[in-house]
Structure 1
Amino acid sequence: MPREDGKRNFALRDADGSENSVYSGNTPRQAALKAARRLHPAPSEEAVDDHAELRLREKGTDRVHVYHGWAWTEEKPDDGPDWMPDSVTRANVSKQGIEHIDE
């Protein structure tokens, strides 16, 4: 169910089907990127060697959006604000498909 601002809620599912975290976004990819930033980051984009599977169930539906996600760290941009840390985490995701759950 979309909210008034158009955002939807997506629950991150573990391998056993439990849902511990909820991410919101206008699209499933936006929520998947938020979840991927919480993965253990590689030291650089070139050093990424493994992808985690992210399974996001859209709240109010039986759809599970499946993504492969990975994260890495980068130096702060030159024009970054003073409050930004010297190292930031970046992430990327690749959609694998949509599944429907039978519960």
Structure 2
Amino acid sequence: MTESNKFLERASELASQAAEKAGPALQQAAEKARVVAQQAAEKAAPLIQQAAEKAGPALQQAAEKAGPALHQATEKATELAEKVRPRPKPGP
């Protein structure tokens, strides 16, 4: 067996050993990450609920206030359009 073949064989053995040792560690890390993500979601849920409960009435109030203003703006735009509309010239 040549030196390069020995080197490749040893490198392959070491890689296999590393993979065997890393597998459980990677699984453990993935499980911890899942637990942390679950805990974060559980903590965030009530905050999101509170924000939604506060936003709902605020959005409703904004819509109620905007309604009359939008109507008034539409009326003013219609009036302005009437004023600037070209009029036919009277005939002779």
Place the TM-score, normalised by the shorter chain, in its bin: under 0.3
Q: Which one has the bigger strand percentage?
A: 1
**RCO greater where, 1 or 2, for CA within 8 Å and sep 6 or more?**
1
TM-score w.r.t. length of structure 2: 0.17
* Higher Cα radius of gyration: 2
Of Structure 1 and Structure 2, the greater helix share is in: 2
TM-score (norm 1): 0.16
